[in-house]
Amino acid sequence: MFSALRKEWKHFWKSRSLFFIGLPALIVVFVFYYLPMYGIVIAFKDINYAKGIWGSDWVGLHNFKFFFNSQDALRITRNTLLLNGLFIVVGMSCALVIGLLLAELGRRWVKLFQTILFFPYFLSWVVVGFVSYILLNPSFGVINKLLEQLHFSPIDWYSKPGYWPLILTLTYLWKNVGYTAIIFFTGLLSIDNSYYEAASIDGASRLQQIRKISIPLITPLITMLFMLNVGRIFYSDFGLFYFVPRDAGMLYATTDVVDTYVFRSLRVVGDLGMASAASLYQAIVGLILVVTTNLLVRKFNKDNALF
């Protein structure tokens, strides 16, 4: 054992410069991701602010029982999985197509389209929420005014939950698809141009080159992004689901997800224990999903697995 420790110490001392370069990142991860984990205990307690976290009464799984026995658990789980699953599939598909199209453009046009596609990513969801309200306002919204001009009846968008899976998907794509497309475009730039030259000499069309060269060579990148997104499938984009539907109670059937439920539990009910239980449930399911996805990927191709 001592010889193994001595060997590891020699290896560490030899690479100490790399360790000290990464030390600030390690400290940030430890302070902001590991130290707060003691708060998991809140999910198992009846929090009394006067007694504090450790002094509050231990209630075991009562908070989880209350959460799962309510009618909200099934609804928010279904909405979270289905909507985020839709975002992953549609978003990555659109981003891949856009990334492939960017790779076919000239450098000057690429810079223009990069800027256009990437700009919405930097906008706050608060701003996007106000823009969507300008479009969807039941009385003065741009879309309803356009419908009136076309002799259609205006729609009260904020009381019709059936429309919102499509609205949220389009909003998500507009804001985020450019960011993922740039990642795919960067991956395509790393492919050796000699592959395309050889395929061109053999008479392959551009579509055939995309199918046989571009997509296969960036498959590891696609797989990695897919697994990372699946791992966060239970961590919905709070701003999207809160500010765009404007927390309208009529839309909870299709827009209420775990994040908005936890926030509302804290703001309206003030039940810290139940909110923590829902958040812990969210984390556990996310962990199970990413591990399961990684095992499936590893079964088919070990090189594409994360671990």
Q: What is the pLDDT of residues 214-244, one digit of tens each?
A: 999 998 888 888 888 887 787 778 899 999 9
Q: Please give the pLDDT value at position 304.
A: 66
Beta-carbon contacts of residue 253 (< 8 Å; ≥ 6 apart): 75, 161
Q: Please give the pLDDT value at position 114.
A: 79
Q: Please give the pLDDT value at position 170.
A: 94
- Where are the domains positioned within the chain? 70-304
* Residue numbers in the chain where pLDDT is lower than 70: 1, 106, 304-306
Give the integer Cα–Cα distance in Å for 236 and 18. 35
Helix, strand, coil distribution of the chain in percent, nearest 5: 80, 0, 20
* 70-304 CATH: 1.10.3720.10
Please state the pTM of the whole predicted model. Answer: 0.81
CA distances from 94 to 16, 39, 97, 119 (A): 43, 39, 5, 17
Q: Please give the pLDDT value at position 306.
A: 67
Q: Please give the pLDDT value at position 302.
A: 74
Beta-carbon contacts of residue 260 (< 8 Å; ≥ 6 apart): 76, 236, 238, 241, 242, 247
| Local structure of residue 245 (DSSP, 8 states) | T
| Local structure of residue 211 (DSSP, 8 states) | I
